[in-house]
């Protein structure tokens, strides 16, 4: 079987949203004639793990974990064999940092390392790649970012081995809202790297059409046909096979949440539950399965004390799907960013469950309008409160979704892009 090299720093057994794109492609690409060879981080201290994602993959999976020493306190502790600290995530505004000097050093580091902390992986992954390539002789390379170090590796493989390259963007690069901005001249260097990536790759796949458009504007000389939208996907076979959870919530939210996300849904449930308590009716229960930023967790504390909100934290993906299948209504709340389409919407839509969506204008809202059972509401407590019981009364529908929203469908699309990239390289 023809082989394709995948550079995906985040890959199972690591968990979290960053692993699903490649995990699903790797699972289904062999059906279309390509054997993936995956190079990824050898664990990251403080990051969640989900071993169940490894168990889903076929026994013939070829993967190479490569050590990554992060230039941070937690990375050094890992190197020294000490107990890891928590994950290195950008702090919410107002969140305190322990130690003024430590915080200052981290702030400086985050504004001069190009493209970010992940760059130090180059020290270990570049030497590891030659024997992997010599052994497997891949015909193409697929890189996914973030983290953006994967783009630098793709650039290296393209130039040294003439491998046709597909660069996948799950997030923006220089336009990211999740990381600190680099200072000049490092910011100029990063923009140069971004332009070179967009110019050198045979194809650029992006998680939304808005993101594809942002990237296309940065490479005006590039063929517009090379920019492909490859959005959220559901592994339908996996979803169907998982049993419903014994825990049943009236409303379920899955995924990360912080101060950028609309909050009025929760105050609307508080208002309705107060009325229900006055009428001796049972409270509506809300489950939140995913990471919650510290200051947002403080905001939720009073709802937890009232007894109707349960914060479950990060749980394995299979358990999350079980909760989705047992919930009455799924809740989608999301920041107002035109290009940002969360991956969970494919599973939400495939579930057949009613969806209460509090999202701003943009691509996400337009996508949700394509489907029934979606109740689109503004971030307004009174309007949401007036619709909560109506959402609970909406019927569930049979599970179905267009093929481009499925893992198998997207694997077929990527297989076609790989074939085209190889053919173009051969002609040149």
Q: Which of 406 and 113 is assigned the larger pLDDT?
A: 406
pLDDT for 224: 86
Residue 425 pLDDT class (50, 70, 90 cuts):
confident
Residues 132 and 29 in one domain: yes
Residues 30 and 171 in one domain: yes
What's the whole-model pTM score?
0.88
Residues 153 and 140 in one domain: yes
pLDDT for 78: 60
Shortest CA distance to 298 belongs to which of 329, 248, 354, 259?
A: 259
pLDDT for 406: 96
pLDDT for 106: 62
Mean pLDDT to the nearest integer, 227-251: 96
Residues 381 and 289 in one domain: yes
pLDDT for 97: 44
Structural domain span for residue 298: 236-401
Residue 99 pLDDT class (50, 70, 90 cuts):
low
Mean pLDDT to the nearest integer, 26-40: 96
Give the count of domains, the chain.
2
Residues 98 and 69 in one domain: yes
Residues 165 and 18 in one domain: yes
Q: List, in sequence order, every residue forming a beta bridge with 66; answer none if it has no partner.
A: 41
Q: Which of 424 and 208 is assigned the larger pLDDT?
A: 208
Residues 358 and 298 in one domain: yes
Residues 150 and 262 in one domain: no
Is pLDDT of 343 > 70?
yes
Alpha-carbon 247 to chain mean position: 25
Show the DSSP H helices in 281-406 as ranges.
294-306, 317-326, 344-351, 363-368, 381-393
| DSSP run (H or E) holding 409 | helix 407-427
Residues 220 and 303 in one domain: no
Taking only the tens place, the pLDDT of each residue in 354-404 is: 999 999 888 999 999 999 899 999 999 999 999 999 999 999 999 999 999
Residues 245 and 113 in one domain: no
> Residue 418: which CATH number?
3.40.50.2000
Residue 83 pLDDT class (50, 70, 90 cuts):
low
Residues 190 and 339 in one domain: no
Average pLDDT score, the chain:
88
Residues 161 and 257 in one domain: no
13 prior amide bond cis, ω within 30: yes
């Amino acid at each position: 079987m023809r082989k394709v090299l995948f550079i995906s720093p985040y890959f199972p057994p690591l968990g979290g949203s960053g692993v699903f794109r490649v995990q699903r492609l790797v699972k289904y690409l062999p059906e279309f004639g390509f054997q993936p060879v995956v190079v990824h981080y050898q664990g990251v201290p403080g990051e969640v793990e989900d071993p169940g994602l490894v168990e889903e993959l076929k026994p013939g999976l070829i993967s190479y974990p490569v050590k990554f020493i992060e230039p941070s306190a937690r990375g050094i502790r890992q190197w020294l064999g000490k107990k890891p600290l928590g994950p290195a995530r950008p702090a919410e505004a107002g969140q305190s940092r322990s130690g003024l000097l430590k915080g200052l050093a981290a702030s400086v580091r985050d504004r001069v390392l190009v493209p970010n902390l992940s760059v130090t992986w180059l020290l270990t992954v570049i030497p590891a790649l030659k024997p992997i390539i010599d052994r497997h002789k891949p015909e193409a390379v697929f890189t996914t970012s973030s983290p953006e170090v994967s783009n630098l590796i793709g650039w290296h493989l393209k130039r040294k081995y003439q491998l046709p390259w597909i660069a996948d963007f799950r997030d923006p690069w220089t336009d990211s809202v999740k990381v600190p901005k680099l200072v000049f001249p490092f910011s100029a260097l990063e923009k140069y790297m971004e332009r070179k990536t967009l110019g050198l790759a045979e194809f650029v796949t992006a998680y939304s059409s808005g993101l594809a458009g942002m990237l296309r504007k940065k490479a005006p000389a590039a063929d517009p046909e090379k920019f492909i939208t490859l959005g959220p996907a559901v592994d339908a076979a996996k979803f169907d096979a998982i049993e419903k959870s014994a825990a049943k919530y009236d409303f379920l939210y899955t995924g990360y949440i912080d101060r950028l996300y609309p909050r009025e849904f929760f105050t609307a449930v508080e208002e309705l539950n107060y009325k229900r308590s006055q009428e001796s009716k049972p409270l509506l229960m809300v489950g939140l399965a995913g990471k919650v930023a510290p200051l947002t967790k403080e905001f939720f504390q009073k709802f937890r004390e009232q007894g109707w909100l349960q914060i479950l934290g990060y749980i394995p993906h299979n358990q999350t799907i079980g909760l989705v299948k047992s919930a009455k209504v799924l809740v989608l709340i999301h920041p107002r960013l035109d290009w940002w389409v969360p991956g969970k919407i494919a599973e939400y839509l495939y579930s057949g469950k009613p969806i209460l969506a509090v999202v701003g204008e943009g691509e996400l809202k337009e996508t949700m309008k394509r489907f029934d059972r979606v109740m689109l509401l503004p971030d307004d407590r009174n309007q949401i409160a007036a619709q909560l019981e109506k959402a609970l009364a909406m019927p569930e529908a049979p599970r179905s979704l267009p093929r481009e929203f499925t893992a198998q469908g997207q694997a077929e699309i990527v297989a076609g892009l790989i074939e085209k990239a190889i053919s173009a390289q051969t002609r040149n």
